[in-house]
Chain A
Amino acid sequence: QKEVEQNSGPLSVPEGAIASLNCTYSDRVSQSFFWYRQYSGKSPELIMSIYSNGDKEDGRFTAQLNKASQYVSLLIRDSQPSDSATYLCAVKEGLSFGAGTTVTVRA
């Protein structure tokens, strides 16, 4: 079992829709969780961090964490073509990354 698993994608959504990204992890001791966005040919950039169970909202992004289920998700509301990228989930204090989910927002 991989340490961090993300829904494989690619995920294609129409402009204005909600993109839902999921991530499960195996290491129960993880206390901090992060979502990164990586545009093609660029480095990952941090978009969200979450440490407590529940929801955390930042603009059009909402991260959800459920430590009991070992699950963290990212919702992108009102998706824009500029959101087209690969989204990486990171756990274990940011040292273990999932393979990423590629999102394409159709105009």
Chain B
Amino acid sequence: KAGVTQTPRYLIKTRGQQVTLSCSPISGHRSVSWYQQTPGQGLQFLFEYFSETQRNKGNFPGRFSGRQFSNSRSEMNVSTLELGDSALYLCASSFQGEQYFGPGTRLTVT
């Protein structure tokens, strides 16, 4: 089976802009979760989608949003980017709680 794919792999944006990240889960997995990873804060949960519905949400401001499509692919959007949003954004598809991570999108905000 193909693994989790994320696009783009690297992104440089300017403060105030918005960004959309994409994630394609493992075939057959209906749950997709998003995480932000930074050296200081570790791996922080953003949200989880299951069958196009947000099932869980972490403690992030409303600038962070996501959605899931009928084919289980998911997108994450960050609006009004701040310098502190620079991070590795990881997507994971899961089956029975076991999560399989994609390679991540490295976002740099300047």
Contact = CB atoms under 8 A, between A and B. Distances in A.
Nearest to B3: A43
Nearest to A98: B42
B68 interface: no
A34 B90 contact: no
B43 A94 contact: no
Interface stretch (A21-29, A44-52, A67-75): A44-52
Contact of A49 (B43, B98, B103): B98
B44 to A, nearest CB: 8
Interface in A25-84: 32, 34, 36, 42-46, 49
A28 B39 CA distance: 28
Interface residues of B, number: 20
Given A95-B33, A95-B56, A34 B97 contact: yes
Interface residues of A, number: 19
Contact of B98 (A94, A97, A100): A94
Contacts of A36: 99
B48 interface: yes
B48 A95 contact: yes
Contacts of B98: 34, 46, 49, 94
A19 interface: no
Contacts of B94: 94
Nearest to B55: A95
B45 A45 contact: no
Contacts of A97: 35, 42-45
Contacts of B56: 95
A34 B101 contact: no
Contact of B101 (A45, A93, A95, A96): A45
Interface of B: 33, 35, 42-45, 48, 56, 58, 90, 94, 96-104
